[in-house]
Amino acid sequence: MPEVCQFATLLEAKCERLNDDKLEKKMKKVIKEGGKKGVEIEGAADMGGLQFFITTVIEPEADLDMLVESMRAMNATSDPTEEERKGGSGKIGKTIFTCTDEALNVVSYVPVEHMEKCNATEWLTNTVTEILRGGNDRVGDAAAMAKTLVKTADGKEKNFAKACIKKDGELALFPLKMKDACINHGYFELLLLSI
């Protein structure tokens, strides 16, 4: 596994339940996918000066804690001498998400060098607000609901935030229909925050 670095420590601590032996095989898949995505994002950033990126991952499925670990794997220090490099995208701000029929889970990360122009908690809260609105008048006060859904870790508010939007037929919240909105509103909110 790649060495843990300063970028990975800007996230919340690893959830204890993920250390269970029964989850070891699943966690290996989550870490592998996150590490590979990290290398891809790093490559795109090197070619085009990319500072922020929004993408989906599959392996964490409906598990928000695993999605945080996927982000940690993306941010891990990459060893350029390894045949199959992993991680390396800690300098790029990211929002990653996973979507199932039951939930849309989202994690946002902003590195220290970008936190003056973009705050992870604000970025995610604004994005979730717009996803909830999505032409849906059943939600009511989407901004207030978003504030209850978005969580962070003490002292890491500018660098890390996470949210879970669960399926709710009465509120017309259907995660599979929110997938595109997550990307579109994520980039739009990023533009607003960095102007």
**Residue of 98, 86, 95 lying closest to 43 (CA atoms):** 86
For residues 41 and 124, give the distance between their C-alpha atoms in angstroms, rounded to a whole number: 19
Q: Which two tokens stand for residue 30?
A: 């989550």
Q: Which amino acid is at 122?
A: E
Averaged pLDDT for residues 74-90: 83
Rounded to 5°, angle at Cα 44 from 38 and 46: 100
Percent with pLDDT over 90 in the chain:
65
Per-residue pLDDT band for 5 (boundaries 50, 70, 90) equals low
Question: pLDDT tens for residues 105-132?
Answer: 999 999 999 988 899 999 999 999 999 9
Q: Where are the alpha helices (DSSP H) in the chain?
A: 24-48, 64-75, 120-133, 142-149, 175-194
Q: Say what the pLDDT of residue 80 is.
A: 72
Residue 33 has pLDDT above 60, yes or no: yes
Averaged pLDDT for residues 146-166: 96
Q: Say what the pLDDT of residue 3 is.
A: 44
| Domains of the chain as residue ranges with CATH | 8-194 (3.10.310.40)
Averaged pLDDT for residues 162-173: 94
The conformation of residue 100, written as its DSSP 8-state character, comes to -
Question: pLDDT tens for residues 35-76?
Answer: 999 998 988 887 777 889 999 999 999 999 999 999 999 999
Average model confidence (pLDDT) across the chain: 89
Per-residue pLDDT band for 2 (boundaries 50, 70, 90) equals very low
